[in-house]
């Protein structure tokens, strides 16, 4: 990013010159109505800062990986699974997702959910749950009701 | 940070369990009315995410260093010097401060300025300007009017 100052536009989640990207390749994993923007990615920075926007009723992929996620909700409301617990989240809440911890974000049915996510620039690829992992997760009724696959 | 979800409180810039720290030791460098909070700092993360809040008319230290700053304004309004230019900044604007670039943030006189700053966990210490550096910076009238030392 060579720009020194990037103006945020009135429309939520849009920055001048920051491309709105696909979350992932269609069909590579389950997800619904979510976009990705790379806010900071620089050879002098050991992490990247990304922004994800989940439309109302949308969700991110249920996954885990070795790398840690450091998340701040930027706007909207939703819920997230971290490990075996479901949390309600709102503006400026922080969510720490430790290594190898199942996680998923969902927007409320009446509001989008936008969040920042800091990750190491060098990181492993996400793992999807096996049928056995899903059975284990679904032993908790709250988790079973939450996860979308 | 062992907490999985940290709730943001209604009062701006306060998170449950996140201590509000001194910006720097008093007298170590020029600054005015600014606090520091460490939102994410973790041995598995190669960067830290900090939050700085500058009170109305306050300012950060005019400094430079080898490490890069990746900044997002979280609330309020102000201006920042990056290199030899002064920018107005507002909510969700992004500011990229490259290595060895003089920079300073100032809040407006009628509003505080709160911003996120991502930095490498391993980084060098800031350098303060010499008299010669200040003379060079002050050759530009806009910069001369902006900087506080």
Q: What is the ipTM of this complex?
A: 0.93
Distances (CA, A) of B53 to A25, A40, B32, B42, B126: 39, 21, 11, 22, 19
In a mutational test of the A interface, the residue from B7, B38, B46 whose CB has the highest number of chain A CBs within 10 Å is: B46
Of A67, A95, A120, the CB nearest to B4: A95
What is the reported pTM?
0.94
- Cα separation, A69 vs B76, in Å, equals 27
In a mutational test of the A interface, the residue from B5, B7, B98 whose CB has the highest number of chain A CBs within 10 Å is: B5
List, for residues B33-88, the tens digit of each pLDDT value.
999 999 999 999 999 999 999 999 999 999 999 999 999 999 999 999 999 999 99
pLDDT score recorded for residue A12: 58
Q: Answer for the pair B76, B107: CB distance below 8 angstroms, yes or no.
A: yes
Local mean pLDDT, 10-residue blocks, chain A (149 residues): 62 80 91 96 97 96 98 95 94 95 96 96 97 97 95
Within 8 A of A92 by CB-CB distance, chain B residues are 8, 15, 74
Tell me whether residue A53 is exposed, middle or buried, using C-beta atoms within 10 angstroms of its C-beta: 0 to 12, 13 to 18, 19 or more.
buried
């Amino acid at each position: 990013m060579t720009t020194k100052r990037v103006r945020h536009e009135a429309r939520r989640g849009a920055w001048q010159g920051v491309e709105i990207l696909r979350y992932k390749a269609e069909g590579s994993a389950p997800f619904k109505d979510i976009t990705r923007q790379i806010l900071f990615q620089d050879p002098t920075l050991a992490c990247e800062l990304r922004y994800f926007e989940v439309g109302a009723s949308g969700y991110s992929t249920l996954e885990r990986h070795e790398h840690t996620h450091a998340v701040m909700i930027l706007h909207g409301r939703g819920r997230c699974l971290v490990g075996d617990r479901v949390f309600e989240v709102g503006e400026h809440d922080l969510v720490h997702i430790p290594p190898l911890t199942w996680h998923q974000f969902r927007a409320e049915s009446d509001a989008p959910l936008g969040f920042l996510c800091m990750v190491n620039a060098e990181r492993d690829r996400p793992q999807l749950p096996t049928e056995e992992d899903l059975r284990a997760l679904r032993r908790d009724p709250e988790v079973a009701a939450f996860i979308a696959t």
